Amino acid sequence: MDLPRSLQQITLRYSAIYLALVFCTSVLGAGGLYLWQTTTEESLRLQSMLHEVDAMRGTLYRQMKEVFDAAFLDDPQAQSQYRAFGLQIEAGLKRLTESARPGDEANAVNELKRSYREIYLHTDLVAFGPVPSDEHLLQRVMDIDLESGGIRAYEAAFGQIDHLLAQQQDTLQQKLASLARYTPLLLVVPILLAFGLWLLTQRFLRTHFLQPLSQVLQFTRVLAAGELAHPVPRQGALELVTLADAINQMADDLAQSRKALVSAERQATLGSLVPIVAHNIRNPLASIRATAQVLRNPDLSPEMREGLQGIMDSCDRLERWTESLLSYLHPLEAQRQDTALVPLLTDLMAMTETLARHRGVHMVLQNPEIRLSAPIDPELVEQAIHGLLVNSIEASPPGGTVTIALGADAQRITLTLCDEGAGLSYAPEAGKLTPGPTTKRAGTGLGIPFALKVFEIHGGGVQFALRPEGGTQALLWLPHA
């Protein structure tokens, strides 16, 4: 499963997309502006060349008029005007040469320049040379050499460059028309991209932020109402998923705390009721037992004596039950003293020897030579272990063995009780007031909870496990001094 992206990662991603969009828009705009600028400059250059060519043509014919005035009318200003027009034409040819592109334009300008030079050779002789006395000779110079030769060549060169420049001008106009046609599209594309990015951003905000945040708020209100079994969905960006996990963990903790509080309240209620119930039971029990004891005498029939003895045994059993229950409920305070553990276990085995021999059970204390001591309350620990040892003896079959093993490691002192019985039918839990089930006729079911409580106040614990070969193993441990 892919991990959700964080808001920072997604923000960086969309920022990169925005920057890319701005960059593309800038490139498109700059490219369009550059094309428009270059096309416009090229069009102005061609228009300038066309204007220059047309102006040179008009200047050439005015120059020709000055040749005619100088040759036939003896106009004294004709020669100066002729020179002035010539300078204008030369300046125009220079500008054309500078503006012309290499290739066809340059060739056309050179052809125009060559045809003008040819005309200039003829007109210069007529304007400043001696006028031929023979009219037929002058007519041949003006009509044949000048008009039929140079002028026609100039007109041909003029037509060539005019056509070339006009053709290029048309091509540029087509480019400008195409650019004007496609420019809206170039503008629409960034707008569409920006709109698509806006839609994507709205979808992202809705999917990864708004909806998950709404879910978090909704389920938080449900949790605040006490419905702790409804987890917040893990949706959206990484931060919201982390928030949902934290809220779910908090709900689990609250559920556990509430369960523990309910259990504590139940135990507190039970603890407050038990002394009252015990007091109300013990007084009638004492009266019943005393009455049964007074009535029991040898003159009664065996059945009557047996019935009265049953009443007394039942009263004694109820008395032991209430006594164990009250001792369990009372706060235990350990009066610690350094106690050797092997002698304590030896005494316990001596106390239960009669019970073990009566049930045909053997007791074995492993490594009795070990020397271990611990700061404990010997009476409480002795009572707790005594209850567990009696349980092990009574649970073992005739011919069975109860093994007691004492050991230690770097952290704790351990005591293991192993029997060969049928095993526990439930899992004891520390801190639980509820007595466990018992199969003993006079049992209270509080022996194991009492042992758990005693070892807990000593900083240790009790753990039960089923043995693979059969029976139960009780592991008791105490911390080192």
391 close to 348: Cβ distance less than 8 angstroms: no
Between 435 and 350, whose confidence is greater?
350
Q: Give the span between the Cα atoms of 163 and 153, in whole angstroms.
A: 15
What confidence score (pLDDT) does residue 402 get? 93
Q: Do domains 7-203 and 332-479 have the same CATH topology?
A: no
Please name the residue ranges forming H helices in 69-151: 78-99, 104-128, 135-139
Q: Which one is predicted more confidently, 466 or 76?
A: 466
pLDDT digits (tens, 9 = 90+) for 37-75: 888 888 888 888 889 888 888 888 887 788 777 766 777
One CATH from 3.30.565.10, 2.40.340.10, 3.90.1150.10, 3.40.640.10 for 332-479: 3.30.565.10
The pLDDT of 221-239, averaged and rounded, is 74
Q: Tell me, what's the pLDDT at 325?
A: 61
- Which of the given ranges, 186-200, 300-314, 375-389, has the highest pLDDT on average? 375-389
Question: Over 60: is that where the pLDDT of 261 sits?
Answer: yes
- In this predicted model, which residue has the larger pLDDT, 298 or 344? 344
Site of tokens 């689990």: 252
The domain defined by 7-203 folds into Four Helix Bundle (Hemerythrin (Met), subunit A) (1.20.120)
Please report which confidence band the pLDDT of residue 434 belongs to, taking 50, 70 and 90 as the band edges.
very low
Which sequence spans correspond to the domains of the chain?
7-203, 244-323, 332-479
**Which of 65-69, 98-102, 257-261, 285-289 has the largest mean confidence?**
98-102
Reported as a pLDDT band with limits 50, 70 and 90, residue 417 is very high
Residues 6+ apart with CB under 8 A from 122: 141, 145, 146, 149, 150
Buried b (16+ CB within 10 A) or exposed e, 172-193: beebbeeeeeeeeeeeeebeee
- The answer to whether residues 312 and 296 touch, using CB atoms and an 8 Å cutoff, is yes
Higher pLDDT, 26 or 350: 350
**CA dihedral sign, ordered 23, 27, 28, 33:** positive
- 291-299 contacts, C-beta under 8 A, 24 or more apart: none
Q: What is the distance between the alpha carbons of residues 450 and 408, in angstroms, rounded to a whole number?
A: 23
Which H or E run contains 402? strand 401-408
